[in-house]
């Protein structure tokens, strides 16, 4: 239910924005990444089954069922479920044989870079295409040196990166190509689901993702050897009882996680519909606001639209950070994904000279992007109210900016006739 505050804001507003002392538009916080939750009764049934079977983890029946369902959905031969997307990335990087250096986008969640580094591989950050926010293949080629062993593409916001160009480049230069598809479960490229490209792709089923397993992830691939290596690595290298064949770790998905995943998959249509509906409401509500651009999705492809992201450019009356402050005061907890860019985070900023290479497009974007709340926790009324808050803030931008910068006395002073 929309709260009264938000409903009131849809009508012409007479009070001040919350940042200037008015009541917040929402009494509860609206989060980016509020989880999609499927049928509770089904989840409870599955949880009861887990307890009845007394099989809680270690390649249990629900994990196997989940893996089969994901592989079928994505259209690949193998899915190896993992404890997190990060663990899946680390293992994929290891199994793909990445060493020395790998080229990666700085415009991603830091886990992509950390997973490389965790495996002893130096992430070489490369600039992005401003239109797609994904790796620019020409810049990738410039970054390839004799030390480069591979490329990690990221399908940011679920929009496929330049898969064809990167595949051709990887083949030409003899590089391993894997994809971080954490955002892209349920999205397609040229009609084929993401997950089936490169040597392998990595999915995240974190609580904040389109489909979640509380925490979780997976490697999906058509390569049987790759999948087998990933399976061994995920479970301490065990091939069977008492037989350890190689170095491994514990990256297994648990049965409760798989129960959540299977329940989420059953509600997939609802998740698609909720995100599409919210996206369209945002699109209409933000249309024509100077300096605000909503990222577009390819209507011809499957798309989860799980990230509603705006770009606040220099012609806007408020900066991205000013807008964020204003919306947070209204209890709309928009996020600056992925500020400040991996290359400006530790340890890369201090340790790696390559991190200091100029990445103008990525830097421009990290200073301008803002993710808005969506998912099944957000209904169209709420999305419309958020868009309306943005429209009003931008219309009132010059005054709000002066107030934010402390150039105009605060409200209490104004009531004494000082403004
Ligand atoms: N590659 C990419 C491109 C990724 O985006 C990610 C994860 C990964 C790899 C790694 O996959 P995992 O190892 O995570 O499976 C969050 C998520 O923790 C992270 O999974 C996700 N990307 C990233 C985009 O978002 P933070 O640092 O923003 O988390 P936090 O705690 O600020 O939560 C995000 C928002 O979600 C908050 O506004 C609160 C809300 N939230 C969160 C949780 C956990 C809820 O409403 N309920 C919840 O249960 O990273």
Separation of 212 CA from ligand 1 center, angstroms? 11
153 Cβ below 6 A of ligand 1: no
Contacting residues for 39 by C-beta, under 8 A, at least 6 apart: 263, 266, 267
Which residue, by CA, sits nearest to atom 34 of ligand 1? 33
Tens digit of pLDDT for each residue in 184-230? 999 999 999 999 999 999 999 999 999 999 999 999 999 999 999 99
Structure confidence at residue 366 (pLDDT): 97
Of 243, 258, 360, 368, the residue nearest 318 (C-alpha): 368
Cβ-contact 271, 210 below 8 angstroms: yes
Q: pLDDT tens, 93-111?
A: 999 999 999 999 999 999 9
Residues of the chain with pLDDT > 70: what percent?
92
Task: Give me the pLDDT at residue 351, please.
Answer: 79
Single out the residue of 329, 399, 359 nearest to residue 129, CA to CA: 359
Looking at residue 252, what DSSP letter applies?
B
Q: What is the mean pLDDT of residues 265-283?
A: 98
Q: Give the domain ranges of the chain.
A: 29-34+268-414, 40-266
Q: Report the C-alpha gap between 395 and 376 in whole angstroms.
A: 29
- For the segment 18-44, the average pLDDT, to the nearest whole number, is 96
Q: Is the pLDDT of residue 1 over 90?
A: no
159 lines ligand 1 (CB under 6 A): no
Angstrom distance (rounded) from CA 343 to CA 152: 15
* Residue whose entry in the numeric block shows the structure tokens 């974190």: 206
Residue 333, beta-bridge partner list: 31
pLDDT at 352: 65
Q: Give the predicted TM-score (pTM) of the model.
A: 0.94
What pLDDT does 231 receive?
98
**Percent of the chain that is helix, strand, coil (3-state, to 5):** 40, 15, 40
Instruction: State whether residue 11 is helix, strand or coil.
Output: coil
Bridge partners for 177 per DSSP? 151
pLDDT for the residue 416: 37
Residue-averaged pLDDT of the chain: 93
State both tokens at 176.
């391993």
Fold matches, 29-34+268-414 and 40-266: no
| Closest ligand 1 atom to Cα of 34 | 46
119 vs 90: CA distance, rounded Å: 7
Nearest ligand 1 atom, CA 216: 15
Look at ligand 1, atom 33, and give the residue with the nearest C-alpha: 33
Q: How confident is the model at residue 357 (pLDDT cuts 50, 70, 90)?
A: low
**Which one-letter DSSP state was computed for residue 291?**
T
Label residue 261 by pLDDT band (50, 70, 90). very high
Query: What pLDDT is recorded for position 362?
Result: 96
Question: Domain 29-34+268-414 adopts which CATH fold?
Answer: 3.90.1150
* Distance (Å) from CA 219 to ligand 1 centroid: 18
| Buried b / exposed e along 200-232 (16+ C-beta atoms within 10 A) | bbbbbbbbbbbbbbbbbbbbbbbbeebbebbbb
Q: Confirm or reject: Cβ of 391 under 6 Å from ligand 1.
A: no
Q: What length does the chain have?
A: 419
**Dist. CA 155–CA 366, nearest whole Å:** 16
234 and 86 in contact (C-beta within 8 Å)?
Answer: no
What CATH architecture is 40-266? 3-Layer(aba) Sandwich (3.40)
**Which positions ≥6 away from 159 have C-beta within 8 Å?**
132, 133, 134, 184, 187, 295, 297, 298, 303
Which of 206, 219, 304, 374 gets mutated to test ligand 1 (max ligand atoms within 8 A of its CB)? 206
């Amino acid at each position: 239910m929309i709260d009264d505050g938000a409903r009131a804001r849809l009508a012409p507003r007479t009070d001040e924005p919350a940042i200037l002392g008015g009541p917040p538009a929402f009494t509860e916080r609206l989060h980016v990444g509020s989880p999609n939750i499927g049928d509770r009764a089904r989840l409870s049934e599955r949880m009861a089954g887990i307890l009845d079977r007394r099989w809680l983890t270690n390649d249990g029946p629900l994990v196997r069922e989940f893996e089969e369902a994901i592989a079928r959905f994505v259209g690949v031969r193998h899915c190896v479920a993992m404890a997190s997307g990060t663990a899946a990335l680390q293992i994929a990087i290891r199994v793909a044989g990445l060493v020395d250096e790998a080229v990666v986008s700085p415009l991603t969640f830091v886990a992509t870079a950390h997973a490389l580094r965790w495996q002893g591989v130096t992430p070489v950050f490369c600039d992005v295409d401003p239109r797609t926010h994904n790796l620019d293949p020409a810049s990738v080629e410039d970054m390839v040196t004799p030390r480069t062993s591979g490329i990690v593409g990221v399908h940011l916001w679920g929009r496929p990166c330049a898969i064809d160009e990167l595949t051709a480049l990887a083949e030409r230069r003899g590089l391993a190509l894997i994809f971080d598809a954490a955002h892209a479960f349920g999205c397609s490229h040229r009609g084929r689901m993401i997950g089936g490209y490169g040597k392998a792709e990595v999915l995240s089923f974190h609580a904040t993702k389109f489909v979640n397993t509380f925490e979780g992830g997976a490697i999906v691939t058509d390569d049987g050897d790759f999948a087998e290596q990933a399976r061994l690595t995920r479970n301490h290298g065990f091939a069977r009882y008492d037989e350890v064949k190689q170095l491994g770790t514990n990256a297994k998905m648990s049965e409760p996680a798989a129960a959540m995943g299977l329940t989420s998959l059953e509600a997939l249509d609802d998740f698609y519909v909720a995100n599409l509906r919210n996206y369209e409401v945002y699109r209409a509500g933000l249309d024509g606001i100077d300096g605000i651009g909503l990222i577009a999705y390819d209507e011809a492809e499957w798309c989860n639209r799980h990230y509603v992201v705006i770009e606040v450019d220099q012609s806007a009356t408020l900066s991205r950070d000013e807008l964020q402050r204003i919306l947070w005061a209204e209890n709309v907890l928009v996020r600056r994904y992925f500020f400040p860019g991996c290359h400006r985070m530790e340890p890369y900023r201090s340790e790696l000279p390559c991190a200091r290479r100029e990445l103008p497009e990525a830097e421009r974007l990290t200073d301008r992007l803002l993710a808005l709340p969506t998912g099944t926790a957000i209904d169209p009324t709420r999305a419309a109210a958020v868009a309306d808050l943005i429209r009003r803030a931008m219309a009132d931008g010059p005054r709000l900016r002066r107030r934010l910068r402390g150039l105009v006395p605060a409200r209490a002073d104004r009531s004494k006739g000082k403004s």
